[in-house]
Amino acid sequence: MPMIDMLTAPGAPYALAAVAGGMLLFWGMLLLQRERSLVAGMALAPSTVGMSGRYLAGQFTGIPVAAVLVVMVFVGNVQGDTRLLLLVSALAAYLYLGVVIPRKPLVQRQREAVALRALTPSFISFVRVSLGSFEAPIEVLRRYIVRPRPQWAAMQATVADALRVSEQHRLRPFEALAVVVRERGCRELSDVCAALAQAEAEGGRIDTVLEAQQATLEIILQSEFKRMLRRRTMYLLLMVAVSLVVGILINLLFVMTKGGSIFSTL
């Protein structure tokens, strides 16, 4: 069946309507998430209902697109490389629209949590030094974001959201920071900010709290770094073993098939 006949077939409008409906549903979910973030004054973690809606919208969009490409292959009797290209495109369209795009907020949140975790020790040191010079917590946070630095981008964005939340909802600086960090998904930084907020509310010594939190975090990071080194060492040894086995097998096959006879002609 020619391409133009497929586009004018009786079922084509329904397939196009399904694709358009899925895209509208997905766009609505994006607008809803953006509105929630604007109302809260900070970037919010995707909720369970929101992620379910994103997966549903992705399926409603990905399945019709993939189905249209598959139907084009079988109904149009496409052969050769074009057939393979359309089938691969159908699979890629379903995976991208139905899996990759719906999971994008979770992937971004996980990457941001990893970045915040790596920046937590330097942030603790910055706050300790600043509070040691008797600066107010609000001034400490403001000074942290005065000069944008690419390597501090994740933490500076978090602190900027905390300052915005503190101003909008009349919260103490470290209390607002604890609220914002809770949405970021970084457990270590969340524990530090919760301790800071508690010390700020109770009038305790914040430097003592930070010293204890920094010592605990350094122990955790050192243990995880050692585990990562051991894991990479095991992977390296496994790769060396596999390369040795493959090399020995190739040499045996070379000898068994009299491959050395090619050198007798030289």
| 114-133 exposure pattern, b = at least 16 Cβ within 10 A, e = fewer | ebbbebbbebbebbbebbee
pLDDT of the residue at 263? 52
For 257, how many CA atoms within 13 A lie in the half-sphere containing its CB? 8
Tokens of 168: 């909008």
pLDDT exceeds cutoff 70 at 97 = yes
Q: What is the pLDDT at residue 114?
A: 83
Buried (b) or exposed (e) across 83-104, using 16+ Cβ within 10 A? eeebbebbeebbeebbeebbbe
Tell me the C-alpha distance between 133 and 234, whole Å: 47
Task: Give the span between the Cα atoms of 191 and 196, in whole angstroms.
Answer: 9
Rg of the chain over Cα atoms, rounded to whole angstroms, equals 28
Residues, the chain: 266
In the predicted model, what is the mean pLDDT of residues 37-61? 67
**% the chain with pLDDT above 70:** 72
Nearest-angstrom CA–CA distance, 157 and 147: 12
Query: Could you report the per-residue pLDDT of 193-227, keeping only the tens digit for each?
Result: 888 888 777 776 776 667 766 776 777 767 767 77
Residues 20-32: pLDDT tens digits?
776 776 676 666 6
Section 65-81 average pLDDT: 77
Nearest Cα to Cα of residue 45 among 107, 98, 101: 107
Each domain of the chain, given as residue ranges in start order, spans: 3-102, 109-219, 224-259
More confident: 147 or 37: 147
pLDDT in tens, 136-145: 888 888 888 8
- Predicted confidence (pLDDT) at residue 12 exceeds the cutoff of 70: no
Span 130-151, mean pLDDT?
84
Q: Could you tell me if 108 and 98 are in contact, meaning their C-beta atoms sit under 8 angstroms apart?
A: no
- With a cut of 60, say whether residue 98 has pLDDT above it: yes
Q: What local confidence, expressed as pLDDT, does residue 127 receive?
A: 83
Q: pTM of this prediction?
A: 0.63
pLDDT at residue 14 is higher than 80 = no
DSSP 28-91: HHHHHHHHHHHHHTSPPPPPHHHHHHHHHHHHHHHHHHHHHHHHHHHHTT--THHHHHHHHHHH
What is the pLDDT of the chain when averaged over all its residues? 76
Percent of residues, the chain, with pLDDT higher than 90: 0
pLDDT band at 61 (very low <50, low <70, confident <90, very high): confident
Residue 109: pLDDT over 60: yes
Where does the pLDDT of residue 82 fall: very low under 50, low under 70, confident under 90, or very high at 90 and above?
A: confident
Contacts of 132 (CB under 8 A, 6+ apart): 207
What confidence category does residue 1 fall into, taking pLDDT thresholds of 50, 70 and 90?
Answer: very low
Residue 148 three-state SS? coil
